Structure 1
Amino acid sequence: MKQFFIELFDYNHQCNLKLCEAFVENQDKVSEKAIKIFNHLLNAHQIWNSRILQKEISTSVWEIRPLYDLEEIEINNHNQSLEILNSKTLDEKIHYSNTKGQKFSNNILDILFHIINHSTYHRGQIASDFRQNGLEPIVTDFIVYKRQ
């Protein structure tokens, strides 16, 4: 199971790196909405990693960061997710509070799947927004990743 998650996070990482490049190359055409969604995607990944690793959360879920910082944030997110996969058991329960202060517990497997699912969902929104703004969406289908 861990190997499958390592592959999913590599897929996620490759997609996000392509988006980082697209945002920088097309910054004059990318909408504020797409920038907001991509920052949210990266911020949420960072927050979930911090919760699992019991580190201080250093960003808010809707914080907007400079386009040129997004690639470094993505790389750090990816590396932390791999650290989690290499050092934690997937059935370990994580106790955390959400941004509203509500307390929850979930196992690491569910949280990691949520990160992947959440990222895929928002990349779909970004693809739609790109098309509406005259940009060709990045191909982020998992099966395309597998064919490479």
Structure 2
Amino acid sequence: MKSFFQNSFEYTKHCNQQIIDALIAHPTLFKEKINILTNHTLNAHHIWNHRILGTLPTFSVWQELGLEQLQCINTENFEKSIQILHQKELDENISYTNSKGQAFTNTVTDILFHIINHSTYHRGQIISLLKEEGLPPVITDYIFYKR
């Protein structure tokens, strides 16, 4: 199962980087919803990693960061997720407080799957917005990644 997650986080990093590259090539599009969703996707991954590791996150879930920071955050998110795979048992329970101050407990497996699923969901939204702005669609289908 850990190899599945490692592969999934490699895929997530790759797809996030494709979006970051598109935004670097077209920086005027890094605005409004595209800015908000791109930052949110990376910030949420960052926050979940820190919840699992029991450390304080640097960013809040809706904090807007500069385009120049995204590549570094994407790489850091990937590295922290791999660190988690090496340090934690997948069935370990993680107790945390959400952004509203509510306490929850979930397994590492559930949280890691959520990170990947959440990222995929928002990438789809971002790609749709980029397409509306006239960019050709960024291809992030998993099967294309594996070919």
State the TM-score bracket (shorter-chain normalisation): over 0.9
**Secondary structure in structure 2 of the residue aligned to 1:28:** helix
**Secondary structure in structure 1 of the residue aligned to 2:24:** helix
**Is 1:95 aligned to residue 95 of structure 2?**
yes
- Answer yes or no: is the 8 Å Cα contact 1:93–1:105 preserved in 2: yes
Hey, what does 2:115 align to over in structure 1? 115
Specify the code of the residue in structure 1 equivalent to 2:44.
Answer: A
Aligned length: 147
Name stretches of at least 5 consecutive residues in structure 2 with no aligned partner. Answer: none
Hey, what does 2:140 align to over in structure 1? 140
**Secondary structure in structure 1 of the residue aligned to 2:28:** coil
CA shift at 1:19, angstroms? 1.2
Output the CA distance in 1 between the equivalents of 2:114 and 2:137: 23
Specify the code of the residue in structure 2 equivalent to 1:14.
Answer: H
**Secondary structure in structure 2 of the residue aligned to 1:101:** coil
Specify the code of the residue in structure 1 equivalent to 2:92.
Answer: E
Tell me the C-alpha RMSD between the 2 structures.
Answer: 0.8
Hey, what does 1:81 align to over in structure 2? 81
Residue identity over aligned pairs, in percent, reads 49
**Secondary structure in structure 2 of the residue aligned to 1:94:** strand
Output the CA distance in 2 between the equivalents of 1:106 and 1:121: 20
CA shift at 1:21, angstroms? 1.0
Specify the code of the residue in structure 2 equivalent to 1:92.
Answer: E
What TM-score do the two structures reach when normalised by structure 1?
Answer: 0.97
Output the CA distance in 2 between the equivalents of 1:131 and 1:144: 19
Output the CA distance in 2 between the equivalents of 1:111 and 1:30: 28
Output the CA distance in 2 between the equivalents of 1:67 and 1:125: 18
CA shift at 1:30, angstroms? 4.0
- Answer yes or no: is the 8 Å Cα contact 2:95–2:106 preserved in 1: yes
Runs of 4+ in structure 1 off by over 4 angstroms are: none
